[in-house]
Amino acid sequence: MKQLLLGLVLIGLISSCTKNEKPSTSQLEHQVDSLVQPYLDSAKLAGMAVAVYRGNEKILLKSYGYADLEWNVELPVNASFEIGSVTKQFTGASILLLAEEGKLSLDDEMTKYITYDTKGRKVTIRQLLSHTSGIKSYTDLPFFEHFSQQHHERDTLLRILEKEGYDFEPGEMLHYNNSAFFMLGLIIEKVSGMAYEEFVKKNLFDKAGMGNSYYCSESKIIKNKAHGYDTGEDGLVNAAYLDQTWPYAAGSLCSTAEDLIKWNQALHHGKILSDESYKEFLTPVSLNDGAVTHYAKGITITNIDGRRMIEHGGGINGFLSENCYYPDEDLNVVVLVNTTGPVSPSDIAEQITNFIVGNPVRQSAQFEGDVSKYMGSYKSGMFNVEVTKNDSTISVQYSYSSRAPYPLYFKEGNTWSSGPSLYHFIEKDGVIDELRIDQTYGYYILNK
């Protein structure tokens, strides 16, 4: 249903505004209203804040729905949301600032600053920043949901992770990793001599003029703080409790839609990092074998059908977020939601962008040959993928997912795609024996 609603709205977007026309604020507001209202009407969404700026020009700043359903408190336009993993770009920028000051190097081993048994492996700050350390992510561990509702000292998590081992050798693959950014927070505190939240406020929030951003708290009374909700079987329910000591530098910041616009303006226009550090911040990491990923230093870099985007999303109990910057258009799109469920901030942000600058030109191709060579089971130490034939195309299914097999679309050579994800089949001596899955937030190597 979500795809159908977005598809119907997209038809309206295309017909009402051509690529060469700049939509007015009222046109954009009307289209965003038509995107959001069906979710509000069907009780699948509590509230949403949307901010769209081109440079310093405000195009749209609007809130929808409720900050609190029980008390019927409407969501103010300056509502504060938990932004989840959008936090990571603040952590990444903090590390780059400390590197600028000569207080650390991205190629320093993490054990120079924190006590951790790496089992003889060399894990660098750069690998922590880019999710390539191989250390287990605590959010992947089976006991996390139970533990996350309890307060634990930070050192306790390190000792737990030491016992869990590695998903892969450092630098071999890229797997989204909250443990790594937790550790980066500890490194920031060790090197700066300041608490993580104090360092971020002084060096990032204050410089960007983000007066409504802070480290989230379960106990403090915060003005205009939205309440978080989840989607239950019979409608929306209160989100599960989460102790903020867990997400920490991986996801414990709170902000507003307008403050995140201020952050983008400061970050991407030289007010936070030097030119050299900014370039490093946006340089995607390369794996040990030279493969280039889409993940940089707490932020992703993509180029889909010619449209460059610097982006990161977030998801935490009761909240979803999306922060996008399009450098070629100097366009900022921020979408914040206080409901976890079917509403996707990234989908909403994409539709908004398409309306403003036009749909990207999709490159299509027809595969000429026998798709049977791709069929089979591909395995890694983390999960397996089954590739099956589907008429003239192929479908994939992941071992960890109950989702039905879904089709891939031919790009070129032995590369297929599903949205922004690329599937590179490696052929040697006429035989496909390896699959490389290149995702925005991951890069995996599987053997047949």
Q: How many residues does the chain have?
A: 448
**What values do phi and psi take at 101, rounded to 5?**
-80, 0
Q: What is the pLDDT of residues 278-297, one digit of tens each?
A: 999 999 999 999 999 999 99
pTM (two decimals): 0.92
Residue 13 has pLDDT above 50, yes or no: no
Q: What is the pLDDT of residues 180-221, one digit of tens each?
A: 999 999 999 999 999 999 999 999 999 999 999 999 998 889
pLDDT of residue 21: 65
Strand partners, 415: 412, 424
Q: What is the pLDDT of residues 363-399, one digit of tens each?
A: 668 898 899 999 999 999 899 999 999 888 999 999 9
pLDDT of residue 37: 95
pLDDT of residue 306: 83
Q: What is the pLDDT of residues 34-53, one digit of tens each?
A: 999 999 999 999 999 999 99
pLDDT of residue 167: 96
Higher per-residue pLDDT: 402 or 262 = 262
Find the range with the poorest average confidence among 110-124, 355-369, 372-386: 355-369
Provide the angle, in degrees to the nearest 10, between the axes of the packed helices 178-192 and 87-100.
Answer: 40
Q: What is the mean pLDDT of the chain?
A: 93
pLDDT of residue 9: 41
Residue 405 has pLDDT above 90, yes or no: yes
Q: What is the pLDDT of residues 214-259, one digit of tens each?
A: 999 988 899 999 999 999 988 999 999 999 888 999 999 999 999 9
Residue 152 has pLDDT above 90, yes or no: no
In the chain, count of helices (H) and strands (E)? 13, 23
Q: Which two tokens stand for residue 8?
A: 């119907």
Q: How many CB atoms lie within 10 A of CB 275?
A: 8
- Residue type, position 143, single letter: F
pLDDT of residue 361: 66
Q: What is the pLDDT of residues 47-102, one digit of tens each?
A: 999 999 999 999 999 999 999 999 999 999 999 999 999 999 999 999 999 999 99
The residue to which tokens 């994800």 are assigned:
421
Contact 120/330 with Cβ under 8 angstroms? no
Beta-strand pair 229-232/339-340 = parallel
